[in-house]
Structure 1
């Protein structure tokens, strides 16, 4: 489906969306920063990280167990996945989410909105050249909204009966 990320967006878009806090060299800075705070309680660490603009490793990556579970869904039942493969995929999908969300966030900022919604994510995917993902996601989003509308309507009916 996706052969080469560079074929989907031009270099200026990639540079525009580049976030240095997501590079491997900055993860070493996070690690060093976290070692410095090992004797402080978690709340102090979180506040210090927010002030310095640093993101902890576990906060910037999807949980590896979830990534592994998703990977296993496409593989034959007897297939195994190495730790290295899971960690590599964990980095990739986390970076992809940040990349797309950053584009959606820029759109919201230009439109003076504070909330990124599903339509913004679909727009960002298309804008970045990921139409193969944007179109199925739009269909999913529409089905989700229909389901939620039905769910809320059913809850309202239940309340009216009580």
Structure 2
């Protein structure tokens, strides 16, 4: 892109902005390896490039779907659909389960927050009504 003078400025993306942070990639890679294992810089960079490309590939497919449906926001269901469409069904299943669990937890958290706000409002109202008037 940078070496194409006719390219639009809005598509001129720096290399470091296109890739996942290498420290995060290395941390994820280390989680699966034995504690004494070492990972070369070249291996981290290769995985960084592959993971970033994969994310872009799947996101592009999800984005196309949203554009056709005249939506501006890609959601988790769109990503699952894109994975299945692109032949990554083995990833779509676990991601759907994760997404459902995430939504369930977020729903519970939202309900707890609502209950807490209502409780605070009731306490505040009670305290005001029980204060002596001058």
Q: Provide the TM-score with structure 2 as the length reference.
A: 0.83
What aligned pairs does 1:130-145 form with structure 2 within 5 A after superposition?
130-145=88-103
Q: Secondary structure at the match of 1:103?
A: helix
In structure 1, which of residues 109, 112, 130 is the aligned counterpart of residue 70 of structure 2?
A: 112
Report how many aligned residue pairs link the two structures.
119
**Of the two, which has the highest radius of gyration?**
2
Q: Secondary structure at the match of 1:78?
A: coil
- C-alpha separation in 1, matches of 2:107 and 2:78: 20
What aligned pairs does 1:2-151 form with structure 2 within 5 A after superposition?
29=3, 51-151=9-109
Q: Provide the TM-score with structure 1 as the length reference.
A: 0.69
Q: Secondary structure at the match of 1:116?
A: coil
Q: Could you say which structure has the greater relative contact order, defined with CA pairs below 8 angstroms and 6 or more residues apart?
A: 1
* Cα drift, residue 149 of structure 1: 0.1
* Cα drift, residue 161 of structure 1: 1.5
